[in-house]
Structure 1
């Protein structure tokens, strides 16, 4: 049989939302037209793709098997149309880890990429790693940029079908209020924070790096109220002399927050930034992006890691080993 891409698109939109009305609205068609397309697709395939009961919609086993190949079929169709029309679609990058200021790393790489090979890039914020994985699965974005915690961080199964590469290890500072007992110091050690409270902008189960830092160094942690931006978050840190936060080294802090940033030493925590993309049929801009990170990161020593003097969560340490092995292989 020849697949009708309009029918396949109707199926994928409905599978993503499990709601016929929302899928029809997304595709700008009537719900009746959407239902007819899916019914014709099911008839031609000879299988039922959805279980329909009242207001609930669920994928059948056949629907679950069909979903990923259907996504790939639509992506290939979009690429075929773009190729025929000589349309070069911009490389879309979604980033997360907003407290650690991802654009500080991403922006110079994008500038370097534009100058070197004239690749057009669009960027946008993603909520978190699961949210960006969902956008990648729906082909709503091409690349994710943030901290990718794999099997050690509970994302092993979700990462199946995706490729990722570590591109930067960024030193992390401690931020304390003016009244904190370490406020007049020039640097601090993680073990000196055990009588303080790690102030988190969200629940720890959502912030894997914060959670693992607190567990490893035996430090208490608490989550703040609604996240209203870096300024509000740092004001909450300054409000209590026992609180501290973790932010990228050299991050410019707002003056009104009444906080100080101190380098952490013995060991220095590192925040691992990675790129994440679909392993099958990646956007043509992925390879130039990887090269741009390698060139700029090589000059800036972004992947420098000193065991014993630096600290990384266990899953991130395994990524450093993989990256080192890859670099050695490519140089031989």
Structure 2
């Protein structure tokens, strides 16, 4: 149904004359007549009866008028729902406990007036597809993995370098260390069942292994972080890597240790991805917030893979 015709019908019904409706809509009286005639053809009824004073509603016109008003109200709400700034900013943070989730919580505290819709998408292909389709506005990812360049319509900026920490149980050989040099981890078993081949974090750890001769095992099913913490706490031979910004909670009896890794410190490069044509005004606010939050970061003494988006 032509909403311009419906809008014209309501204006003519309220005015009682096509001429006044034309003036209100800033169109000609002939255009009003054509729109009403087209709407009558679509509906198969006469909506107006011509009188000496102008145009009066027919019985069918009277029946249609409240529904026409509701159609226009629904159309206005539909338009408002996608009008820039009138819908929530939709952001993918990959996981609820990760660094990206923490960044968005800080953004929300700084800008509580901006409505947010947070989602969790597992792999970068789904995230990029969602950005390109308009399903989300942005995503946090480690981008530019070998052989997987971003499409030209997707922009990115590196927003956070997250240092990795070694997580061990109390019986591990390194449990008492204040820090551990990265090369010293060669020969230790690092268990990371969440490293899935084909993901950007798998590419990151593949390069870390190749660079420093580490042993990272991704064997066994991934039952989530709680099961991982249970196993590391009970197995002196195993350790795992955790991002320094990853939020973890474990039973006091686990006595887990988060140990800084140095010489160099491996950092995970988080970038924000968005579509170049996305006009949501809150996206600019988010980028400005993240730029301020990451300003002055010193990369001296850190390691990232060669394919990471430069700062």
- TM-score, length of structure 1 as denominator length: 0.62
C-alpha spacing 1:91/1:98, structure 2 compared with 1 (3 Å) = closer
Whole-angstrom distance in 1 between the partners of 2:111 and 2:305: 30
CA drift at 1:219: 1.0
Alignment correspondent of 1:271: 268
C-alpha spacing 1:196/1:84, structure 2 compared with 1 (3 Å) = closer
1:228 pairs, out of 214, 218, 223, with 223
- Larger helix fraction of residues: 1
2:304 pairs, out of 312, 317, 328, with 312
Instruction: List alignment gaps of at least 5 residues for structure 2.
Output: 1-74
Moved more, 81-90 or 136-145: 81-90
Alignment correspondent of 2:25: none
Structure 1 contact 214–220 (Cα < 8 Å) conserved: yes
C-alpha spacing 1:83/1:204, structure 2 compared with 1 (3 Å) = closer
CA drift at 1:214: 1.8
1:155 pairs, out of 143, 148, 154, with 148
Structure 1 contact 99–230 (Cα < 8 Å) conserved: no
Instruction: List alignment gaps of at least 5 residues for structure 1.
Output: 1-76, 321-332
Q: CA RMSD in A?
A: 2.8
Whole-angstrom distance in 1 between the partners of 2:76 and 2:182: 50
2:283 pairs, out of 274, 282, 286, with 286
Q: Aligned with 1:184: secondary structure?
A: coil
- TM-score, length of structure 2 as denominator length: 0.66
Structure 1 contact 90–121 (Cα < 8 Å) conserved: yes
CA drift at 1:119: 2.2
1:108 aligned to 2:125? no
Alignment correspondent of 2:61: none
Q: Aligned with 2:269: secondary structure?
A: strand
Whole-angstrom distance in 1 between the partners of 2:205 and 2:131: 25
CA drift at 1:110: 2.5
What do residues 246-278 of structure 1 show as CA deviations (whole Å, max 9, x unaligned)?
112265441344421101111111111111001
Taking the TM superposition and a 5 Å limit, the aligned residue runs for 1:236-247 are 236-247=231-242
C-alpha spacing 1:83/1:123, structure 2 compared with 1 (3 Å) = closer
What do residues 140-177 of structure 1 show as CA deviations (whole Å, max 9, x unaligned)?
11111232x21x43321x43320011111122111112
Taking the TM superposition and a 5 Å limit, the aligned residue runs for 1:169-248 are 169-205=161-197, 206=199, 207-248=202-243
What do residues 100-156 of structure 1 show as CA deviations (whole Å, max 9, x unaligned)?
443122210222133xxx322111111122221122122111111232x21x43321
Structure 1 contact 268–310 (Cα < 8 Å) conserved: yes
1:129 pairs, out of 104, 124, 143, with 124
CA drift at 1:297: 3.0
Alignment correspondent of 2:29: none
Moved more, 262-271 or 122-131: 122-131
Structure 1 contact 170–249 (Cα < 8 Å) conserved: yes
Find the structure with the greater CA-based Rg. Answer: 2
CA drift at 1:98: 6.1
By relative contact order (CA 8 Å, sep 6+), the higher-ranking structure is 2
Whole-angstrom distance in 2 between the partners of 1:84 and 1:265: 47
Whole-angstrom distance in 2 between the partners of 1:213 and 1:288: 34
